[in-house]
Structure 1
Amino acid sequence: MSSSTKRRDAKEISAAILQTTEFLFTKYGVENVSMHQIAKAAKVGQGTMYRRYANKGDLCMDLMKEHFQSLQEETIQYLKDAKAISVKERIQVIFKRLLYYVEQHSRLFEAIQSYTTCEKTKKPFYDAPPYVFMHNTIRLLLEEAIETKVVRPINADFTAHTLLSSINPKMYIFLRQKNGYTAEEIIENFNKSLLEPLFY
């Protein structure tokens, strides 16, 4: 068997594991699915499974990366096309898209961040590439706002972390399910309470 065939097979196996994981998580909930169940349903051996994913936390993180890739690409393209739009509006658009992303993948997102449903992953959530990407994106936009003097005196790095932490999936789910806010109401209140006060 050629090395290219081996690589292709490895990709197919990983894809099968992720597809099976997402199906089982969606059907039964993240907390109710074991690594053994995933391996059995994906028709891969336990050894193969654990060579790719040390624990369920790694699986959760990989699934999040799969979903996040399209959001990241859309964000990069939007920022390229929206240079003439005010920095305030650009930040609002990015957070609106991020909030809808959390809405769509809230159960998986919550599992990764909470460390209670999934086992602890190799890297803390805040060191994960998706979070780092969003933080850097927001920080750079805030720095632009500071330079153009359209925002109040702030620490861009700290503020970016604070804004992102306010979209904690646990809080988002609480607001949606317990307090009855719609996704649109959460976005509206996020803008009014957190974003708009930063700008002159």
Structure 2
Amino acid sequence: MRKDAELNRQKILSSVESLIQQQDMDKIGMREIASAAQIGMGTLYRHYPNKSALCMDLVYGNLQHFIDTASEYLGCYQGNPEVALHYILSEYLVFRENNMGLLESVESNWKQGQVFYQSELYSQLVMLLTRVLKPLKPMFSDKELTFTAEMLTAMLKSDIYAFERLHKGLSQEEILSSLIKLLLN
């Protein structure tokens, strides 16, 4: 990507991050994003054909950061596998919480969801979760570990997570505790 194009992309993403601190993503329009980024509408649409694609790019960046940080932790941590599971799931819930509005926008678009499940990033997430589950489930085959990791991500999709947090009133710690019990039993 050309340097000026990358600079515009970064301006767009940082402007959106700033805007979503003030209001829900579904209330932010493309015109408002272009204005905040101080670019023209054409430039915005050259980078992102719609708001969902923009949300996807933000989520991908944030998810990559989570995966990188969690992988680094697992590379250094040599202690109790249950502690590692607690840490990784806790950080994943923080990622889900911090990106709730963005994830709802992305996950509500079925077509983009299908693209995500076939992406390298999704594979990295599943491998990370498989890696943390393996010492806790040594009797599981690779196929069973992968299935468990994929079902864990499915259980935490934005609509289910938001329902548990906002409608049922569960805290992140309560969700974490229940997930760990579910996975360890």
TM-score range, shorter chain: 0.7 to 0.9
Task: Quote the residue 2:118 is aligned against.
Answer: 127
* Structure 1 residues 88 and 54, CA gap change in structure 2 (3 angstroms): same
Question: Where does residue 139 of structure 1 map in the other structure?
Answer: 130
Partner of 1:115: 109
- The partner residue of 1:29 within 19, 24, 28 is 24
Q: Which residue of 2 aligns with 1:187?
A: 176
Which has the larger share of helix?
Answer: 2
Residue correspondence of structure 1 range 1-200 to structure 2 within 5 A: 7-82=2-77, 84-115=78-109, 121=112, 124-143=115-134, 145=136, 148-149=138-139, 155-192=144-181, 194-197=182-185
Can you give the 5+ residue segments of structure 2 that lack an aligned partner in the other structure? Answer: none
Deviation at 1:40, TM superposition (A): 2.8
Name the SS for the 1:181 alignment partner.
coil
The TM-score with structure 2 as length reference comes to: 0.84
Q: Structure 1 CA distance, aligned partners of 2:145 and 2:91?
A: 20
Gaps of 5+ in 1: 1-5
Which whole-Å deviations, capped at 9, do the CAs of 1:37-91 have from their partners, x for residues lacking one?
2123322122211221121111001111232233222112111111x33444433
* Partner Cα separation in structure 1 for residue 51 and residue 100 of structure 2: 17
Q: Note closer, same or farther for the CA distance 1:47–1:93 as it changes in structure 2 (3 Å cut).
A: same
Provide closer, same or farther for how the CA distance between residues 122 and 102 of structure 1 changes in structure 2, counting only shifts above 3 A: closer
Q: TM-score, normalised by structure 1?
A: 0.79
The separation in 2 between residues aligned to 1:153 and 1:14, in whole angstroms, is: 39
Q: Distance in 2 between matches of 1:137 and 1:122?
A: 19
Aligned residues: 185
Q: For residues 86 and 110 of structure 1, do their structure 2 counterparts lie closer, same or farther at Cα, with a shift above 3 Å needed?
A: same
Q: Which amino acid aligns with 1:189?
A: S
> Partners in 1 of 2:34 and 2:25 — Cα distance?
15
Show CA shifts across 1:156-193 (max 9, x none): 2211111111112211111111111111111111111x
Stretches (4+) displaced over 6 A: none
The Cα RMSD (Å) is 2.7
SS at match of 1:85: coil
CA contact (8 A) 1:60 1:108 kept: yes
Q: For 1:22, what is the secondary structure of its paired residue?
A: helix
Rounded to whole Å, the distance in 2 between the matches of 1:66 and 1:189 is: 28
